[in-house]
Structure 1
Amino acid sequence: MDIRHFRYFLAVARQRNFTRAAEQLGIAPPTLSRQIQDMESELGTRLFNRHQRDVSLTEAGVALMPEADAAVRQFEAAQNNARRAGRGDIGHIELGYVASAVYSGLLQKQVQAFTREYPDVSVSVCESPMAALPAMVLDGRYDVGYVRSPMTLPDGLEAVRLDAEGFVLAVSGESWLSRLPMISPRQLQDETFILPEQISGTLQVAAEGGFAPKLGAQPGGLVAVLALVSLGQGVAVVPESVVGHVGLPGVWYRQIDGCEASSWLSLIYRRFEKSAAVGRYIEQIRCRSELARDGRQR
């Protein structure tokens, strides 16, 4: 027997008539009758009592009916789930991110928009050091990752460019710089720079000020960077999205006069991604990014 026999059996059991059941199934009544007989022969028992105009279930038929119904439902569910997984409607995504993706609100907005549209795709998120994220995506520990660009990616990874933002200077409340409403890059030539994971802002500010920066510690995430600033160990050039989102005692944020430096978040992913669910996520982020870019250009 196969699942087809269960479907035939259920049709006859519900219609209580071979002719009506055959019409429902789209087959000839003799074919249906022969299939039921084959089924009864294999089981070694009759499933139906045949009457002149209709049929009724035997005790064996009554016992088989709920099991046959469950088997057909499970079979159809398995087929449906396979199709949905192939389309990317169900699945799982492992996502890594750097802290500034959360401070900007971009991570929350994009993940929530995706899960609203694809509620049966689960998304697990985890903060990771930015330097480690590309390798973790490449070797499959994460499916996608949010990093702060510009950065060089290894072969095998691609990136979708997302929102760009400028930089601000984080200074200690004890520093003379905290008393200035606006800071010129030239005023920073004697300062020690605590380095965030993305150092391009620091280097660009120093270049605009015409000096080689004095580099301090690079402790990791932005909170660790700001902690060293609060201890008076230096200043830090950080993404402006931290303002209003990360407040540490003793840390002040100041605009950098004439600073044209900027960075942007990127979604990184494997070039030849095989998961349909991950592909759905990448495509949605790419489309939304292109729409936002087109809107700004208009």
Structure 2
Amino acid sequence: MDRRHLQYYVALAEELHFGRAALRLGIATPTLSVQIQEIERRLGTPLFDRSRREVTLTSAGAIFLAEARNVLRQFEQAEAVGRRAGRGEIGRIEIGYVGSAVHAGALQEQLQRFRSASPDVVLQVGEWPMADLPDLLLDGRIDVVFCRLPMEIPDALGSHILIEDQFCVALPASHPLARAALPVQPALLAKEAFIMPEQPAGTLEVARRGGFVPDIRSRPGHLAAVLAQVSVGDGAVAIVPSVLQRTLLLPGVVYLPIAGPVIASTIAALYREQETSPVVRRLIEQVRCTPSRRIDMLPLP
């Protein structure tokens, strides 16, 4: 018995007239009669009492009518859910991010916009080590990634830059360079100990420009932990995104620009180029339509 049989049955049970029910269904009256007889044979019981003047439901027919209506409603609900899923209006998206994406607000902005437009989509958000994110995306364990570039991006992944930032130097307030309050020449950092953040590109580029190999004292990973060590440590410095000037102010830490050409650090969304999920494609389209914004360093005092 399929959905069509239930529709035929409900129509006749509501009309209690073969001719009117057949007209409602757009089929011939004999066809409807044959279909009802088939249903009764399958159930092994009469559902209608028939006479020349009227058609009435049997007690079994009345009980079956309630169940048939419930099943048809479930069919309709399933179809509606399927259509919404196909339009990307419902579903679940797994999002991975690195902490600096939160500091710059890129992740929050995208999630707020998407939730406003698609409130029935479940967004599962989790922080991951930056080096793990591309593989997690390729493996399908995560659907969209918010990370800080530069990093190696596999060919199967696309990217869109959301924030254009730059690296700067975080120093203890007691450091002589901090007191000078001038852009820091990379060579002046040659004898310093460095606290290495999760994104090493800035530190390595400063060392390259200064012609030295950085002395890495520790690698705490999270930017808050990096700055905490700068703040309470014994003179170590760190190369960090300049957005922290605005979002992560700790006592005893001074941010200074790096002299010379800007060392770019950008926040980007990564995604699978051949994404098949409609709901994930909706988020990707939103991200790709978002113009990148620039965060400049605050002026020196």
Q: TM-score, structure 2 length as denominator?
A: 0.86
Q: Residue 243 of structure 1 corresponds to which residue in structure 2?
A: 245
Q: Is the contact made by 1:185 and 1:259 (CA closer than 8 Å) also made in structure 2?
A: no
Matched, 1:177 2:150: no
SS in 2 for 1:49: strand
Provide the rounded CA distance (Å) in 2 between the counterparts of 1:20 and 1:218. Answer: 79
Q: Tell me, in whole angstroms, the C-alpha distance in 2 between the residues paired with 1:155 and 1:244.
A: 34
Q: How does 1:100-249 map to 2 (within 5 A)?
A: 100-186=100-186, 187-206=188-207, 210-212=210-212, 214-216=214-216, 217-230=218-231, 231-249=233-251
CA distance in 2, matches of 1:257, 1:126: 36
**In structure 2, the residue corresponding to 1:112 is in which secondary structure?**
helix
Deviation at 1:75, TM superposition (A): 2.0
How many residue pairs get matched? 290
- Give unmatched runs, 5+ long, in structure 1: 294-298
Q: Offset at 1:279? A: 2.3
Superimposed CA distance per residue, residues 108-146 of structure 1 (whole angstroms, 9 cap, x where no aligned partner): 111221222222321111111111211222222222211
Alpha-carbon distance in structure 2 between the residues aligned to 1:97 and 1:53: 72
How far the C-alpha of 1:103 sits from its partner, in A, is 0.7
2:204–2:214 CA contact under 8 A, matched in 1: no
Q: TM-score, normalised by structure 1?
A: 0.86
| Distance (Å, rounded) in 1 between the aligned partners of 2:215 and 2:159 | 29
After TM superposition, what 4+ stretches of structure 1 lie above 6 angstroms from structure 2? none
CA RMSD of aligned residues (A): 2.4
Return 5+ residue gaps in structure 2 as ranges. Answer: 294-301
Cα gap change, 1:176 to 1:15, in 2 (>3 Å): farther
Moved more, 191-200 or 251-260: 251-260
- The reply to whether residue 94 of structure 1 matches residue 94 of structure 2 is yes
Deviation at residue 259 of structure 1 after TM alignment: 5.0
164-173 or 144-153, which deviates more: 164-173
> CA deviation digits over 1:184-241, x for unaligned, max 9?
3254343333222222323444555x44352313321212211221223511121122
Greater mean deviation of Cα atoms: 142-151 or 245-254:
245-254
Shift of 1:96: 0.8
Indicate the larger mover: 170-179 or 184-193.
184-193
2:278 is aligned to 276
Partner of 1:264: 266
| 1:296 corresponds to | none
Q: Is the 8 A contact 1:18 1:54 kept in 2?
A: no
Change (3 A) 1:180 1:58: farther
State percent identity of aligned pairs: 47
Q: Compared with structure 1, are the counterparts of its residues 18 and 188 closer, same or farther at alpha carbon in structure 2 (3 Å cutoff)?
A: same
| In 1, Cα distance between equivalents of 2:38 and 2:166 | 76
Letter paired with 2:97: Y
